[in-house]
Amino acid sequence: MTYTKRLDGRKFDETREIEAKVGVVKNADGSALFRFGDTIAIAAVYGPKALHPQHLRDPERCVLRCNYDMLSFSVAERKKPGPTRRSQEISKVTEWALSPVIDLENYSNTVIDVHITVLQANASTRCAGINAAAMALANAGVSMKELVSSVSIGKIDRKKVVDLSKEEEDYEEGEGATDIPLGFTKSGDICLMQLDGKIRAEELKEVIRTGKKACKEIYEIQKKALEAVGEEI
Amino acid sequence: MSVDKKTVKQKSEETETEKIEVKRKITIPGEKIVSGRDFLPGEGTIREGEDIVARRFGLADISGRLVKIIPLSGTYIPRTGNIVIGRVEDVTFNGWIIDLKAPYSSFLSLSECSRYIKGDLTEYYNIGDILVCKVFSIRNKSIDLTIKGRGLGKLERGQIIYINSNKVPRVIGREGSMIRIIKQETGCEITVGQNGVVWILGNKIEDELRAKEAISFIVSKSYIEGLTDKVQDFFKNKKEEK
């Protein structure tokens, strides 16, 4: 049986319902919430601030520290709280995805902390986290080139789909499922790409094209959320 | 600085209606503000080909040819000449380390002290003391402060409130108009540090609280037109309540 219709009835190039909100954490310098259907992530940015211990300071640029965390109630089976191998990896790729757009040279010897918390997880949590973090960084008044948008593209059996859900990620018939989280800057450069599974080279090119298109839509939503918080002021 | 302000003021009167429209526009990093060779990129903006592109989140301000961004958020980044209020964090053998609520540590050297000091430095300024200082140089991101000058020195009485440092220009107002109103209405002595620390000293505690309320009113209502008139109304209402 081939995958001809998506499990939740979406179109193949349709994301789940997206919600973006800026300024959700009062005590942070900048914060944002991003939701893909049932996946909810909030990001809080603190800094630029003095970095301690001092030997970690970089006199040429600012240190960007990302911390991705899934709350214990975010998944159906209770997750043991605290950092895991998985969360450490995601923190690191988030850092790599965000650092090319931030003007790190402007804030030498300091640190910017980005805390991403997943309140509810249903696949694509790192993408939701990056989208929230990009908005939170802008909200914190950090000097940056542009925003980053991220979406996961999947290959399910032989079909390319945008924004996988947990059910789709676990699809096992035919060629199975491959999840490819992608991140793009506004100007279209890739800043995140991970791939677990099998895919042909031509198929990957197609995946990147669809990802770019989906990210453009996400970018508009991020932009609108930032404009909305500015209107309030 | 003062010359700058005056030219801006004249421009704003000329293009009042035009300015209001553009002023309200929110900038998003990477988004075009205006295009054309006629405009010059100012603070928070960058030129990309024909366009002036925003580099940070804030409000676009176009005065004449210069395009700049009024920040809405962000930590305080010290500038030379800023009057700041800080707390003594540590005492070293040749000066004091001052906490300015900025990402960089700042140092007040013994030689920048107005008095002749001999012996134990803690006798003059000790840990926890609040000082009004001036930023006189920024080298390698380390801030040197001075306490020589009028209005600078240790604060003995009164109270300190913390506000968002981006709202400081609103609290002071154009050429100090806003702060003057508060001082007149409450009879308080007020010093506003560029780092978002405000010191208030009044004859009565009620006066201080009134000044505090007025400042938080300005902070919450910043970026609306005619704020000085609104603050005057605010004080009028207060009097009527009494």
Residue B31 lies in a domain: yes
Band of the pLDDT at B4, cuts 50, 70, 90? very low
Q: How near does any CA of chain B get to the CA of A221, in Å?
A: 12
Q: What amino acid is encoded at A145 in this protein? A: K
Closest by Cα among B239, B216, B232 to B170: B216
Residues B236, B165 share a domain: yes
Q: Which of B27, B217, B77, B214 is nearest to A227 (CA)?
A: B27
Q: Which residues of chain A have pLDDT under 50?
A: none
Of A180-189, B107-116, B191-200, the poorest mean pLDDT is in B107-116
Residues B66 and B6 in one domain: yes
- How far apart are the C-alpha atoms of A18 and A221, rounded to whole Å? 8
B77 belongs to a structural domain: no
Kindly list the residues from chain B whose CB atom is less than 8 angstroms away from the CB atom of residue A232. none
- What is the tens place of the pLDDT at every residue in B31-66? 999 998 889 999 899 999 999 999 999 988 888 889
Exposure of A95 by Cβ count < 10 A (0-12 exposed, 13-18 middle, 19+ buried)?
middle
CB contact under 8 A, B56 and A141: yes
Can you give the pLDDT at residue A3? 84
In a 13 Å sphere around the CA of B34, the CA atoms on its Cβ side amount to: 20
Among B26, B57, B104, select the one facing A141 at the smallest CB separation: B57
Q: Which residue shows structure tokens 């499990």?
A: A7
Range of the domain at B140: 83-155
Q: Which parts of chain B fold into alpha helices (H)?
A: 2-14, 16-23, 168-172, 177-186, 205-220, 227-241
Q: Do B73 and A187 touch (CB under 8 A)?
A: no
- Which residues on B lie below 8 Å from A49 (Cβ)? 75, 103
Q: A143 and B104: CB-CB below 8 Å?
A: no
Question: Cα–Cα distance between A10 and B37 in angstroms, integer?
Answer: 46
Task: Flag the least confident range among A46-50, A143-147, B22-26, B161-165.
Answer: B22-26
Whether pLDDT at B156 is above 60: yes
DSSP states of chain A: ----S-TT---TT----EEEEE---TTSSEEEEEEETTEEEEEEEEEEEE-SSGGG--SSSPEEEEEEEE-TTSSSSPPPSS--HHHHHHHHHHHHHHTTTB-GGGGTTEEEEEEEEEEE-SS-HHHHHHHHHHHHHHHTT--BS--EEEEEEEEETTEEEES--HHHHT--STT-EEEEEEEEETTS-EEEE--BS---HHHHHHHHHHHHHHHHHHHHHHHHHHHHHHHH-
Q: Kindly state whether residue B187 falls inside one of the protein's structural domains.
A: yes
Candidates A109, A146, A227; nearest CB to B29:
A146
Interface confidence (ipTM) of the complex = 0.87
User: What is d(CA A34, CA A228) in angstroms, rounded to the nearest whole number?
Assistant: 14
Q: What is the pLDDT of residue B25?
A: 84
Token pair for residue A57? 């300071």
| The pLDDT of residue B57 | 94
| Range B150-171 average pLDDT | 91
Q: So where are chain A's domains?
A: 18-232
Q: How high is the pLDDT of residue A160? A: 92
List residues in chain A touching B: CB distance below 8 A.
29-30, 47-50, 59, 101, 103, 107-110, 138-147, 185-187, 223, 226-227, 230-231, 233
Partner-chain contact B57 A138, CB within 8 Å = yes
Kindly indicate the confidence band of residue B105, based on its pLDDT and cuts at 50, 70 and 90: confident
Mutate: best of A143, A218, A223, partner B, most B CBs <10 A: A143
CATH number of B42's domain: 2.40.50.100
Selection from A104, A5, A87, A9 nearest residue A48 by Cα: A104
What does the block give as tokens for A83? 């950092």
β-strand pairing of A110-120 with A63-70: parallel
Rounded to whole angstroms, how far apart are CA atoms B185 and B206?
12
pLDDT attached to residue B24: 64
DSSP B25: P
Q: Are A150 and A97 in contact (CB under 8 A)?
A: yes
Whether B90 has its CB under 8 Å from any CB of chain A: the answer is: no
Q: What is this structure's pTM?
A: 0.89
Cis amide leading into B29 (omega within 30): no
Mutate which of B68, B70, B73, B225 to test chain A, going by most A C-beta atoms within 10 A? B73
* Cβ contact B58–A138 (<8 Å): no
Q: How far apart are CA B214 and CA B212, in angstroms?
A: 5
Per-residue pLDDT reduced to its tens digit, B176-187: 899 999 999 899
The predicted pLDDT at position B21 comes to 45
Q: Identify the domain boundary among B139, B155, B171.
A: B155
- CATH number for B121: 2.40.50.140
What CATH number has the domain spanning A18-232? 3.30.230.70
Same domain, B140 and B114: yes
The reported pLDDT for the residue numbered B18 is 44
Q: Is there a single domain that holds both residue B39 and residue B111?
A: no
Question: How far is A60 from B14, CA to CA, in rounded Å?
Answer: 44
Q: Do residues B131 and B88 touch, judged by C-beta distance below 8 A?
A: yes
- Please report where in the chains the tokens 């640190």 appear, as a residue: A111
Measured between CB atoms, does B101 come within 8 Å of chain A? no
Domain boundary among B120, B155, B190: B155
Overall residue count recorded for chain A in this entry: 233
Q: Do B15 and B26 touch, CB atoms closer than 8 A?
A: no
Contact between residue A70 and residue A107 where contact means Cβ atoms under 8 Å apart: no
Number of domains in chain B: 3
Query: Is residue B196 a part of any domain in this protein?
Result: yes
Nearest to A22, CA basis, from A11, A32, A30:
A32
Judge: A48–B75 Cβ closer than 8 Å, yes or no.
yes
If asked whether residues B174 and B233 sit together in one domain, one would say yes
Secondary structure of B115-151 in the HEC alphabet? Answer: CCCCCCHHHCCCCCCEEEEEEEEEECCEEEEECCCCC
Which residues of chain A does B71 touch, with a Cβ-Cβ cutoff of 8 Å? 141
Listed residues B71, B102, B118: the one ending a domain: B71
Mean pLDDT, rounded, for B165-184: 90
Residue A233: the pLDDT is 63
Range B77-104 average pLDDT:
92
User: Chain B residue with minimal CA distance to A223?
Assistant: B28
User: At a CB cut-off of 8 Å and minimum separation 6, what does B224 contact?
Assistant: B230
The answer to whether the CB atoms of A233 and B223 lie below 8 A apart is yes
Same-domain check for residues B109 and B171: no
- Of residues B29, B44, B104, nearest to A147 (C-beta): B29
